[in-house]
Structure 1
């Protein structure tokens, strides 16, 4: 529903059945929201009108993350089978501007949270057979996705979970397999460190 705060200005914009409204976030001129069905998730956008409400993409999977917004783009990860391809979605709120950027080789998206680091990057869960569930990061456009240093080396199944983020880093609950669950802080470095030319 949409409302201007009055009874006369309150109306139904969009109805859905057999789906759960799973996440919602605001872009500059519209909202985006995910609907979760038994075996798929759909990302939708709305400008507050019935005609301006449309489905952006459908992704196979039975769990999805919250939606994080960075650089005017909505970021969402949908988790299905561990051998599934894709699952990471980036959208500017339009069909043409909605895409599934590639993840690092052998990785698929995983439901370990999703958080924006300021307006420049996002961090989210990803899985590979070699390392298990770890964390990945991408820039605001969903490009240059990469896996972060492992919180629990090996594929022993300890799942890190992103709980909150600031402009400079993300707070993560992680278990390194030695000390049990702990609160970790992953800090985003503001200055690049180049090793080229140094021995």
Structure 2
């Protein structure tokens, strides 16, 4: 497995080994022993995933930016099984040198990249194709009462979403009333 560090400490891009033959291809998308060995190499604690989530989105659907308050912050391991998304992670760890910095990366069924997002990040994504199927593992259970939603276009974060100005994005009711980062208690 190829591991690429990003410019935000702890945020990793993983590329699985793909084995092709006349039947198609095979990959091991998750191996607990290997994954925790990778985390240890980057001075991160081992994790225990407790929940798998799946989401299917139409083109122009934007989900996020979502975050759970302490002590319910979730680490996530994401991948796209069908279609493609522009995935964004925002560092909300107040003691981090990259606090309030973000990265965006295309994840797709074609590139088979995974994104490891440690606990303490807000997360969201824009579906770039119809029927984009995203799956992700989390280290904590979803707790609705501790979920925060930050505006996808927050003026302080200045996230550069790949959005055509002639197209309307599709937001959930929750995401439509999201707050500015400056107004939230993390």
Give the structure-2-normalised TM-score. Answer: 0.31
Task: Select the structure of larger CA radius of gyration.
Answer: 1
Q: Which structure shows the bigger proportion of residues in helix conformation?
A: 2
Using structure 1 for the length normalisation, give the TM-score: 0.29
